[in-house]
Chain A
Amino acid sequence: MAVDDTVPQVKKEHVLLPFLQTLNQTTLTSLYKRPSSCLSIFRLLSSLERQIILNLLWLESAITTSTLAAWVIREAKPLYDDALSTLSRLHVLPTGSGKLALNPTFKAAFRQAIAGGGSGGSFGVPAAEHKDDGRSGANTTVLDEYALERWETILHYMVSSGTDDRTRRPPEPSPGVRFLLKTSGLMQEVYGSLRISSVGFQFLLYSPHEQLWHLLLQYLHLADQRRMDLVDVLSFLFMLSTMELGREYSVQNLTKTQSAMLEDLRDYGLIWQRKQSSRRFSPTRLSTTLTSSSPPLPTKTGDSSGPQEGFIILETNYRIYAYTDNPLQTAVLNLFTSLKYRFPNLVVGSITRESVKKALMNGITADQIISYLFTHAHPNMRKNNPLLPVTVQDQIRLWELEKNRLKSREGYLYTDFASQADYELVLKYAKELDIVLWENAAKRCFFGTLEGHPIIKSFIERRSTG
């Protein structure tokens, strides 16, 4: 089995982009009126796409497609075409007319974002400084603690719903959050209580950034249903992503939809407010890093043991040592390891066939387990090459294969053909439709899919009558 020593670091397209591409031109254009939205979307794009935009940004007139294409070497042509089509579907750069020019709304707003000017307050209106009335805004420590607490409540709620231990239930998140978890399919209702689904198990192994966007994407899908203006919702998220951590912003410029969002976002830990009725709010690190590459959750310091990132040591004998006192991380580990001992700052367990099988049954894949171990490996593990013991990686994959030893497809077995010619004719027809799962010329029979059966049936009937 081929083992690569690094998990492939292919930069994937950001999850929001496919969603934006489904929106119509009118919606997108009104979104592009705000400089902060343009800047945020720009930050989500790949470097090639950014390159193209920046090249065209300060041009007053359109240039021909061939002018830009002259820059592209032949090997990179597919990449270039790909970038152009993404930009075209985002309605940032309409193609097809033979000339290239940025969407004028996008161009104007993005120029403003870079060069300043305009007075839309699209980057948020900072709240006035407090007079000395003893109420100061939250500092970064408070904000970080708040965001972390909110976010871990959600994850912990999910992870503990999968266990049967009902005595030690963590606090429940708000009804809004629970509704979102249910509609997103991360949890499903079983006997009146919410339980984590297999999608939810996979979700737990994502990076915090992916988790956050996964939930927000679901939130966007719900916007229509809740009669929220999608442009308002998106532009508010983008606005938050360009705000400054530790600063207070005023709510007075927000639209009705956006004011309603404040409550939801407070539940997710994206913003902080002193009181519900407060006229000002502070974005937390979760929201200010939405479109950036820095980590959305603070790395722990001080009282806690070890850094948040990188706490797992995995040995070749399948033993796992996790330097953590965080109940959430312990619970996530418990998804695929069998835990043996628990110390104040250390959890010891081992990866066994049973524990991996349990994870696989829950819908987690071997690759997800391996990539989780990879991303959370202890700094000392980073000296190893390959980082994770090859034996353990291979064994986890083998256990997964073991689960799939038997594959089944429903369908029809066609047999007892009158002549070879007859058999070949029907088989050829079936092959053209791509419904043959198995064939054997010597036995003169083949197996076709269930979906293909009516077509084959009518084909044979037509032939026998004709």
Chain B
Amino acid sequence: MKAIKGILMTCDPAVKQILLFFNEDHSFIIEDLDDYHVVIRADEERKVRSMLEAKLESNTYSLEG
């Protein structure tokens, strides 16, 4: 058997699709577990979070922006 160090991300399916989309360019996913879980490389969490944040923001209509 094998033990791989990583970070378990728990999210909704929509967010997971965005993560898969990012992965095409950056390749940080170790294992795609199911609709709600993926394991990513431990040192990539910050980057992934900020990319996701930017993506979600761009999809939101803002009164003030």
Does B bind A? yes
A residues sitting closer than 8 Å to B (CB atoms) are 338, 352-354, 402, 405-418, 422-423, 426, 437-438, 440, 443, 445, 447, 453, 456-457, 460
Given A338-B64, A405-B12, A407-B10: A412 in contact with B33 (beta carbons within 8 A): no
Q: Does B20 contact A (CB under 8 A)?
A: no
Given A354-B64, A413-B3, A414-B2: A407 in contact with B9 (beta carbons within 8 A): yes
Number of interchain pairs (Cβ within 8 Å): 81
Q: Please, how many angstroms separate the alpha-carbon atoms of A414 and B11 in the complex?
A: 20
Instruction: Indicate if the CB atoms of B64 and A456 lie closer than 8 Å.
Output: no
B13-49 residues at the A interface, CB under 8 angstroms: 15, 30-31, 33-34, 37, 39, 42, 45, 49
Q: Kindly identify which residue among B2, B8, B60 contacts A411, using a CB–CB cutoff of 8 Å.
A: B8
Q: Please, how many angstroms separate the alpha-carbon atoms of A422 and B34 in the complex?
A: 22
Instruction: Indicate if the CB atoms of A415 and B1 lie closer than 8 Å.
Output: yes
Task: Tell me which residues across on chain B come within 8 A of A411, comparing CB atoms.
Answer: 5-8
Q: Please, how many angstroms separate the alpha-carbon atoms of A418 and B1 in the complex?
A: 6
Instruction: Indicate if the CB atoms of A412 and B49 lie closer than 8 Å.
Output: no
Instruction: Indicate if the CB atoms of A414 and B1 lie closer than 8 Å.
Output: yes
Instruction: Indicate if the CB atoms of B6 and A413 lie closer than 8 Å.
Output: yes
Instruction: Indicate if the CB atoms of B9 and A408 lie closer than 8 Å.
Output: yes
Instruction: Indicate if the CB atoms of B1 and A417 lie closer than 8 Å.
Output: yes
Task: Tell me which residues across on chain A come within 8 A of B12, comparing CB atoms.
Answer: 405
Interchain residue pairs with CB less than 8 A apart (8): A406-B9, A407-B11, A409-B10, A410-B5, A411-B5, A411-B6, A412-B6, A447-B37
Given A352-B63, A353-B62, A405-B15: A410 in contact with B1 (beta carbons within 8 A): no
Beta-carbon nearest neighbor of A407 in chain B: B10
Instruction: Indicate if the CB atoms of A406 and B6 lie closer than 8 Å.
Output: no
Task: Tell me which residues across on chain A come within 8 A of B15, comparing CB atoms.
Answer: 405-406
Q: Kindly identify which residue among B3, B9, B45, B60 contacts A453, using a CB–CB cutoff of 8 Å.
A: B3
Task: Tell me which residues across on chain A come within 8 A of B63, comparing CB atoms.
Answer: 352
Instruction: Indicate if the CB atoms of B39 and A413 lie closer than 8 Å.
Output: yes
Instruction: Indicate if the CB atoms of B7 and A408 lie closer than 8 Å.
Output: yes
Q: Kindly identify which residue among A352, A354, A437, A457 contacts B8, using a CB–CB cutoff of 8 Å.
A: A437
Q: Please, how many angstroms separate the alpha-carbon atoms of A438 and B9 in the complex?
A: 11
Q: How far is the CB of A424 from chain B (nearest CB, A)?
A: 12
Q: How far is the CB of B38 from chain A (nearest CB, A)?
A: 10
Task: Tell me which residues across on chain A come within 8 A of B54, comparing CB atoms.
Answer: none
Q: Kindly identify which residue among B2, B11, B31, B33 contacts A406, using a CB–CB cutoff of 8 Å.
A: B11
**Given A338-B64, A447-B8, 8 additional A-B pairs, CB 8 A:** A405-B12, A406-B9, A406-B49, A407-B11, A408-B9, A426-B1, A437-B8, A447-B39
Instruction: Indicate if the CB atoms of B64 and A415 lie closer than 8 Å.
Output: no
Beta-carbon nearest neighbor of A447 in chain B: B8
Q: How far is the CB of B14 from chain A (nearest CB, A)?
A: 8
